[in-house]
C-alpha cells in the first residue's frame, strides 16, 4: 500500500464514499454509457470541480429520515384518531388541500421520476448521487402527502381521485405540462428548471404558502408534513444553487443557454404560481399574507439578491420580470374570477369572499382591487343571493404554452386582455403573453405537441362533447358533490353539522344554482 | 378489566381514494396501498422526451416485456418510503455497532499484511460493482412504469450506494482513513487481470437499454451469482485465512441479499407467469447474460473460494429460475 499519512478531511472522505466509486470506463465508450449528456450543448470540461452540495452517506440518510418519518406518522395517526379535521378553521380551507393533492402531489411523483432519470444521466458521480437522493426524497413527499390527506378524503369531497384528475382536468394541465416540459428536456435543463428555478427561486412561493396556510388554519397533518419535509427542501435548494454555479463556471458558452432556460422557467413558474396566489388570497379562511406581499418578499427581495449574486457569471434577471412584478397585484384576482366562473368543472368549491374578506383584499391591494375586481365580485355575490349563481358555459381559449385560459391583462392596461398569436407551419397558435409566446418560438416543435384540454374536448377525446359528461365521466368529478359553489355543498353541510349549526338558509339559494 | 375512553366517532363518507377503491374495494387501505398504486401519471403526456423521442414519458413500451397491468408486480415487503427507511435504519444501527467494535479493537489492522492485501484486492473492489448497480437501478426507477415496480428499484439503488460505502469503509479502516487502501483497491479494479471480466460485464450492463432486461441482469443474474459467492462462500474462505472478523462488516450485505430475494423472486414470478412471450424473452436474456455473469466471476472464485463455490452459487440461481419456468446452465455445472 502506498504510504499516506494524512487522514482524509470530511470533504475528501465523502468524495471517496461517493464519486471515487466511479471510474473511467474502457470497455464501453463514455458517450454510450452517458448518451444524454451532450445534446443540449452544455459543455462540462471537468466534473471533478463539482462541489457536493451536502454530505450525507446512506447510513446517515436512513437514520435521519427514519427518525423524521417516525415522528410524522405518529402525528398522522393521532390526527386521524382524534378526527383532527374537525379542528380546522373552516371547511373552505380543505379546498386548498384539494388543489394541492390534485395539482402539486402528482408533481412530487413526477419529480421522483425525473431525478431518478438524471441520477443516471450525468457522468459526474457526485451530481448523480445528489440527484438520486432528491429522487427518493420526492418519492417520500408524494407518498406522505397521500397519507397526510388520506383522513381528509374520508370526510370531504374532491380529494378522491387526484392522480386521475391530474392527467385530464383542464386546469391541472397547467402543472402537468409544466413538469412534463421539464422531464422531457435534457438533464441540464431539467435541473435548471426544477432544482434551480423551481426549488431554489420559487419554492417559498409554492411549497411554503401551502404549509403556512395549513399552520394558520389548524391543519395539523399537513403542517407536520411541511415541517418534516423542510430539511429535505433545504438540501434540494442547495443542490439547485450548486447546479447553476457549476454549469456556469464550466464554460462561458453555457451562459446564453442557461440564460434562456432561466427566462423560460421563471416565466413558466410565474404562470403556474397564479394558482398558488389565488389559493393564498381566496381559499385560506385565515390568511397568511397576501400574494403580492409574498411575491415582494420571496421574489423581488430574495430573488433580486440572488440574481445580483449571479451577475458575475454574466447572468441577468429573467426576461419579463418587470411584467411579473407588476402582475402581483392582479393575477390572484383574475385567477379566482376564472375558477369562480368555471366552478362547475373543478374538483374544489368556489365562492365569493365575504365582506371582511373583501375588505382585507381592498386593504392589501389598494391600487387594484377596488378599481378592477371588487365591483365584479360584489355583482356576482348579488346575483348569487338572488338565485343566479354565475357559471360560464363556454370553453375558454387556452395559452399554447402555460395552458392557462388567456385571462391575464396587459401590464399598462388592466382593462385589456393580453393575447398574442403567431402562425407556425400553417397553424395559428394563441398565447397569454410575450413570455409564453417567446417560449414557443424557441422550441415550436415541442409546444405544438401540447395536450390542450379544451382542444381535446372539441376533438371528442374526452368521452363526450358536453361539459357535464366530460366533467363526470372523464374527469371523475362527482357532480353536486365535488363541484359548484361552496355554499350549499355537502362539504358545507357536514361542516355546519360538526359545528352544530343549521345550513337551511344557505342551501336554499344553492339548490336553485344547481338547477 | 379494560378501560374505555369515549371518543366522538364520526362516520366517514368513504374509506379510501377512488383509485385504491377501484382495485381493492372501498375499505380502509394500507399505507403501502395508498402510497404505491396509481399515483403515477398514466396518460395525456404533453411532450415527447428529447432524450427518447420514440417514446412518451412513462411509456410502458420502454421495455419489450408486456404486462396487462404493471401494478401486478408488488413488493412482498410492502415497502413504501417510510417502511423502507425505518427498516434500513435498524439495519444500519447493527452495522454501525460492528464497525465501531472492529475499529475500537483494531481488528482489521491487526491482520497480517497479506490478508489485508487480500481484502483490498478481492473484496473492496466490489464497491465499484455496487456503484454500477446503483446507476442501473436509478435508470430502472426512471424508466419503469408503476410505482410498485419503480420504487423497489430506487430503494435498491440507494441500498447499493450504501453497500458500496460500507465496503469503502473496510478499506478506510485498513488504511487508517488516509484513502491509500481505496486507491490501491481501485488500481486492482482498473488493471488487475482478475477484475477485468467483471469490470467489462458491469460496463456492458451500463449500456443495456431495456430496463427490464437490466433488472434481470443486475438484480437477478449478476447478484444471484455474486452475492452467494462473495458474502457466503468467500466469506467462509476469508475465515479460513484468519480474517473471520470481516464477517461482522459484511453482515449487512448478507441480510440485505436475503431480503432482496423476496422482491426479485416475486417480480420474476409475476412477469414470467404473465405470458409465454414474456417467458421466452426472459429465457433469451438469461441465455445471453447468465454465462457472462458466471465467467466474469470465475477469476475471483479461482483466487479465493474455488470454482466449486461459484458452481454452487450457479446451481442456487438455477433452482430459483426454475421455479419461474426458466432455465440456466447452473444445473449441469
Closest-CA distance of chain B to residue A174, Å: 11
Give the residue among A149, A154, A230, A239 at the shortest CA–CA distance from A192.
Answer: A239
Interface contact flag, B47 A167, Cβ < 8 Å: no
Question: CB of A302 within 8 Å of any CB in chain B?
Answer: no
- Structural domain contains residue A12: no
Rounded Cα distance, A5 and A3, in Å: 6
| Domain membership of residue B224 as a residue range | 77-321
- The C-alpha atoms of residue A397 and residue A291 are separated, in whole angstroms, by 25
Does the residue B36 lie in any domain? Answer: no
Which of A3, A61, A185 minimises the CB distance to B180? A3
Query: In CATH, what number is assigned to the domain containing residue B160?
Result: 1.10.620.20
Q: What integer best gives the mean pLDDT of chain A?
A: 95
Nearest to B19 by CA among A102, A467, A238: A102
Question: What is the structure's pLDDT at A73?
Answer: 98
The ipTM (two decimal places) reads 0.97
**Helix or strand run (H / E) with residue A147:** helix A125-155
B11-40: b (≥16 Cβ within 10 Å) or e: eeebbbbbbbbeeeeeeebebbbbbbbbbb
Determine the pLDDT at residue A3: 63
pLDDT of residue A502: 65
Q: pLDDT, tens digit, for every residue of A240-253? A: 999 999 999 999 99
Q: What are phi and psi of B68, to 5 degrees?
A: -60, -40
Residue pLDDT, tens place only, A153-178: 999 999 999 999 999 999 999 999 99
User: Residue A207: what pLDDT?
Assistant: 84
Rounded Cα distance between A174 and A453, Å, is 10
A1:B120 CB<8 A = yes
| From B96, B154, B165, residue closest to A136, measured CB to CB | B154
- Residue A416 in domain: yes
Contact (CB, 8 A) for A464 and A474: yes
In Å, how far from its chain's centre is CA A373?
Answer: 25
> Tell me, what's the pLDDT at B3?
77
Measured distance CA(A194)–CA(A266) in Å, rounded: 10
What pLDDT, on a 0 to 100 scale, did the predictor assign at position A501?
A: 82
Instruction: Classify each residue of A281-300 as buried b or exposed e, where b means 16 or more C-beta atoms within 10 Å of its C-beta.
Output: bbbbbebbbbbbebbeebbe
Q: Name the minimum distance, in Å, from the CA of B118 to any CA of chain A.
A: 12
Full-model pTM = 0.96
Domain count, chain B: 1
Which of B231, B205, B232, B204 has its CA nearest to residue B218? B205
Q: CA-based Rg of chain B, rounded to a whole angstrom?
A: 22
Q: Is the pLDDT of residue A511 over 80?
A: no
The string of pLDDT tens digits covering residues A48-87 is 999 999 999 999 999 999 999 999 999 999 999 999 999 9
Q: How far is CA A103 from CA A172, A214, A436, in A?
A: 6, 16, 20
Establish, for the pair of chains A and B, how many residue pairs have beta carbons separated by less than 8 Å: 282
pLDDT tens-digit map of A308-366: 999 999 999 999 999 999 999 999 999 999 999 999 999 999 999 999 999 999 999 99
Query: Is the Cα dihedral A43, A48, A51, A52 positive or negative?
Result: positive
Strand, helix or coil for residue A409:
strand
Partners of A420 in the β-ladder? A431
In 3D space, the residue among A472, A437, A375 whose CA is nearest the CA of residue A169 turns out to be: A472
* Enclosing domain of residue A503: 53-514
pLDDT at A278 over 50: yes
Chain A interface test: which of B39, B58, B100 (most A C-beta within 10 Å): B39
Q: How confident is the model at residue A203 (pLDDT cuts 50, 70, 90)?
A: confident
Q: CA-to-CA distance for A22 and B135, rounded, in angstroms? A: 10
Residue-level pLDDT at A509: 46
- The partner residue sitting opposite B39, judged by closest CB among A8, A66, A146, is A146
CB–CB contact A116 B39 (8 Å): no
Whether residue B267 lies inside any domain: the answer is yes
In a domain, residue A339? The reply is: yes
Asked if residue B64 is part of any domain, the answer here is: no
Our count of domains for chain A comes to 1
Residues of B in contact with A25 (CB under 8 A): 203, 206
Q: Is residue A41, in this structure, part of any structural domain at all?
A: no
Give the Cα separation of B222 and B202 in Å (integer): 9
> Is it the case that residue A150 has pLDDT exceeding 80?
yes
Q: In this prediction, what percent of chain A has a pLDDT beyond 70?
A: 97
pLDDT (tens place) for every residue of chain B, 333 residues total:
677 777 777 899 999 999 999 999 999 999 999 999 999 999 999 999 999 999 999 999 999 999 999 999 999 999 999 999 999 999 999 999 999 999 999 999 999 999 999 999 999 999 999 999 999 999 999 999 999 999 999 999 999 999 999 999 999 999 999 999 999 999 999 999 999 999 999 999 999 999 999 999 999 999 999 999 999 999 999 999 999 999 999 999 999 999 999 999 999 999 999 999 999 999 999 999 999 999 999 999 999 999 999 999 999 999 999 999 999 987 644
Question: How far is residue B317's CA from residue B331's CA, in Å, rounded to a whole number?
Answer: 9
Which residue from B181, A383, A79 is spatially nearest to A392, judged by alpha carbons? A383
Asked if A106 and B162 come within 8 Å (Cβ–Cβ), the reply is no
Say if B141 falls within a structural domain. yes
Subunit contact A184:B203, Cβ cutoff 8 A: no
A3 domain-assigned: no
Cα–Cα separations (whole angstroms), residue A457 to A395, A397, A403, A433, A440: 9, 12, 14, 24, 23
C-alpha cell at A45: 470540461
Taking CB atoms and an 8 Å limit, are B41 and A110 in contact across chains?
yes
pLDDT at res. B329: 86
Q: For residue A83, is it within any domain? A: yes
Query: How much is the CA Rg of chain A, to the nearest whole Å?
Result: 24
- Report if residue B331 sits inside a domain: no
Q: pLDDT tens-digit profile of A445-497?
A: 999 999 999 999 999 999 988 999 999 999 999 999 999 999 999 999 999 99
Q: With respect to residue A325, please indicate whether it lies within any of the assigned structural domains.
A: yes
Q: Which of B13, B50, B58 sits opposite A155 (nearest CB)?
A: B13
Q: Give me the CATH number covering residue A81.
A: 1.10.620.20
Closest by Cα among B260, B265, B33, B36 to B156 = B260
First to last CA, chain A: 85
What is the phi/psi pair of residue B308, to 5°? -55, -40
A428 DSSP β-pair partners:
A423
Q: Does residue A402 lie within any of the structural domains? A: yes
Residue in A with minimal Cα distance to B189: A23
State the smallest CA–CA distance between residue B165 and chain A in angstroms.
5
Structural domain includes residue B66: no
- The pLDDT tens digits for A290-323 are 999 999 999 999 999 999 999 999 999 999 999 9
Residues in chain A within 8 Å Cβ distance of B38 = 163-164
Find how far residue A428's CA is from the centre of its chain: 28
3-state helix, strand, coil in chain A (%, to 5): 65, 5, 30
Amino acid at each position: 500500500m502506498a504510504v499516506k499519512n494524512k487522514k482524509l478531511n470530511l470533504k475528501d472522505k465523502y468524495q471517496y464514499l461517493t464519486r471515487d466509486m466511479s471510474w473511467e470506463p474502457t470497455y464501453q465508450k463514455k458517450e454510450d454509457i452517458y448518451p444524454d449528456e451532450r445534446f443540449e450543448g452544455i459543455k462540462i470540461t471537468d466534473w471533478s470541480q463539482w462541489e457536493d452540495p451536502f454530505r450525507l452517506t446512506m447510513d446517515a440518510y436512513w437514520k435521519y429520515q427514519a427518525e423524521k418519518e417516525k415522528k410524522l406518522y405518529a402525528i398522522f395517526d393521532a390526527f386521524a384518531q382524534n378526527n383532527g379535521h374537525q379542528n380546522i378553521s373552516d371547511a373552505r380551507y380543505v379546498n386548498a388541500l384539494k388543489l394541492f393533492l390534485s395539482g402539486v402531489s402528482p408533481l412530487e411523483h413526477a419529480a421522483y421520476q425525473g431525478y431518478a432519470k438524471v441520477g443516471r444521466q450525468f457522468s459526474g458521480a457526485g451530481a448523480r448521487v445528489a440527484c438520486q437522493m432528491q429522487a427518493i426524497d420526492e418519492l417520500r413527499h408524494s407518498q406522505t402527502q397521500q397519507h397526510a390527506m388520506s383522513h381528509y378524503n374520508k370526510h370531504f369531497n374532491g380529494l378522491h381521485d387526484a392522480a386521475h384528475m391530474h392527467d385530464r382536468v383542464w386546469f391541472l394541465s397547467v402543472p402537468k405540462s409544466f413538469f412534463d416540459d421539464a422531464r422531457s428536456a435534457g438533464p441540464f435543463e431539467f435541473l435548471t428548471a426544477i432544482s434551480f428555478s423551481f426549488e431554489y427561486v420559487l419554492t417559498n412561493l409554492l411549497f411554503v404558502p401551502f404549509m403556512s396556510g395549513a399552520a394558520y388554519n389548524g391543519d395539523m397533518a399537513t403542517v407536520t408534513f411541511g415541517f418534516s419535509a423542510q430539511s429535505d427542501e433545504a438540501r434540494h435548494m442547495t443542490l439547485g444553487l450548486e447546479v447553476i454555479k457549476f454549469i456556469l463556471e464550466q464554460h462561458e458558452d453555457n451562459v446564453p443557454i442557461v440564460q434562456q432556460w432561466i427566462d423560460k422557467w421563471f416565466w413558466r413558474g410565474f404562470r403556474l404560481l397564479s394558482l398558488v396566489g389565488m389559493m393564498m388570497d381566496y381559499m385560506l379562511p385565515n390568511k397568511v399574507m397576501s400574494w403580492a406581499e409574498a411575491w415582494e418578499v420571496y421574489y423581488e427581495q430574495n430573488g433580486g439578491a440572488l440574481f445580483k449574486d449571479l451577475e458575475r457569471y454574466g447572468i441577468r434577471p429573467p426576461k419579463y420580470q418587470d411584467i411579473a412584478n407588476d402582475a402581483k397585484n392582479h393575477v390572484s384576482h383574475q385567477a379566482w374570477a376564472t375558477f369562480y366562473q368555471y366552478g362547475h368543472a373543478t374538483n374544489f368549491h368556489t365562492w365569493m369572499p365575504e365582506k371582511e374578506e373583501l375588505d382585507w383584499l381592498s386593504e392589501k391591494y389598494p391600487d387594484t382591487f377596488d378599481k378592477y375586481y371588487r365591483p365584479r365580485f360584489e355583482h356576482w355575490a348579488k346575483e348569487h343571493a338572488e338565485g343566479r349563481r354565475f357559471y360560464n358555459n363556454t370553453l375558454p381559449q387556452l395559452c399554447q404554452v402555460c395552458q392557462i385560459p388567456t385571462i391575464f391583462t396587459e401590464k399598462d392596461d388592466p382593462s385589456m386582455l393580453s393575447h398574442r398569436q403567431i402562425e407556425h407551419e400553417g397553424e395559428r397558435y394563441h398565447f397569454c403573453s410575450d413570455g409564453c409566446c417567446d417560449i414557443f418560438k424557441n422550441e415550436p416543435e415541442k409546444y405544438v405537441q401540447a395536450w390542450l384540454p379544451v382542444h381535446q374536448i372539441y376533438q371528442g377525446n374526452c368521452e363526450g362533447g358536453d361539459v357535464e359528461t366530460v366533467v363526470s365521466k372523464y374527469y371523475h368529478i362527482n357532480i353536486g358533490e365535488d363541484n359548484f359553489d361552496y355554499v350549499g355543498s355537502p362539504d358545507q353541510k357536514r361542516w355546519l353539522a360538526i359545528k352544530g349549526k343549521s345550513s337551511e338558509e344557505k342551501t336554499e339559494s344553492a339548490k336553485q344554482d344547481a338547477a | 378489566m379494560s378501560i374505555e375512553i369515549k371518543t366522538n366517532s364520526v362516520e366517514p363518507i368513504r374509506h379510501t381514494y377512488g383509485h385504491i377503491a377501484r382495485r381493492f374495494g372501498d375499505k380502509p387501505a394500507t399505507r403501502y396501498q395508498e402510497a404505491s398504486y396509481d399515483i403515477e401519471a398514466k396518460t395525456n403526456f404533453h411532450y415527447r422526451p428529447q432524450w427518447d423521442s420514440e417514446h412518451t414519458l412513462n411509456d410502458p413500451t420502454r421495455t419489450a416485456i408486456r404486462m396487462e397491468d404493471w401494478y401486478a408486480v408488488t413488493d412482498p415487503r410492502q415497502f413504501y418510503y417510510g417502511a423502507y427507511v425505518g427498516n434500513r435504519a435498524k439495519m444500519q444501527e447493527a452495522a454501525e455497532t460492528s464497525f465501531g467494535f472492529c475499529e475500537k479493537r483494531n481488528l482489521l489492522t491487526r491482520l497480517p499484511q497479506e490478508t489485508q492485501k487480500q481484502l483490498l484486492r478481492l473484496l473492496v473492489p466490489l464497491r465499484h460493482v455496487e456503484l454500477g448497480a446503483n446507476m442501473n437501478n436509478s435508470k430502472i426507477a426512471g424508466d419503469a412504469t408503476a410505482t410498485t415496480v419503480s420504487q423497489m428499484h430506487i430503494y435498491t439503488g440507494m441500498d447499493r450506494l450504501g453497500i458500496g460505502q460500507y465496503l469503502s469503509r473496510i478499506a478506510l479502516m485498513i488504511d487508517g482513513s488516509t484513502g491509500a487502501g481505496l486507491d490501491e483497491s481501485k488500481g486492482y479494479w482498473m488493471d488487475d487481470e482478475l477484475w477485468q471480466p467483471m469490470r467489462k460485464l458491469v460496463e456492458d450492463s451500463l449500456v443495456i437499454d431495456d430496463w427490464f432486461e437490466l433488472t434481470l441482469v443486475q438484480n437477478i443474474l449478476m447478484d444471484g451469482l455474486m452475492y452467494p459467492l462473495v458474502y457466503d462462500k468467500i466469506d467462509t474462505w476469508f475465515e479460513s485465512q484468519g480474517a473471520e472478523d470481516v464477517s461482522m462488516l459484511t453482515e449487512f450485505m448478507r441480510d440485505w441479499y436475503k431480503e432482496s430475494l423476496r422482491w426479485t423472486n416475486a417480480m420474476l414470478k409475476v412477469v414470467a407467469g404473465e405470458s409465454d412471450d414474456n417467458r421466452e424473452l426472459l429465457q433469451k436474456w438469461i441465455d445471453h447474460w447468465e454465462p457472462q455473469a458466471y465467467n466474469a466471476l470465475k477469476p475471483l472464485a479461482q483466487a479465493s473460494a474455488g470454482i466449486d463455490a461459484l458452481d454452487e452459487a450457479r446451481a442456487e440461481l438455477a433452482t430459483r429460475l426454475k421455479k419461474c419456468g426458466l432455465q440456466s446452465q447452473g444445473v449441469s455445472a
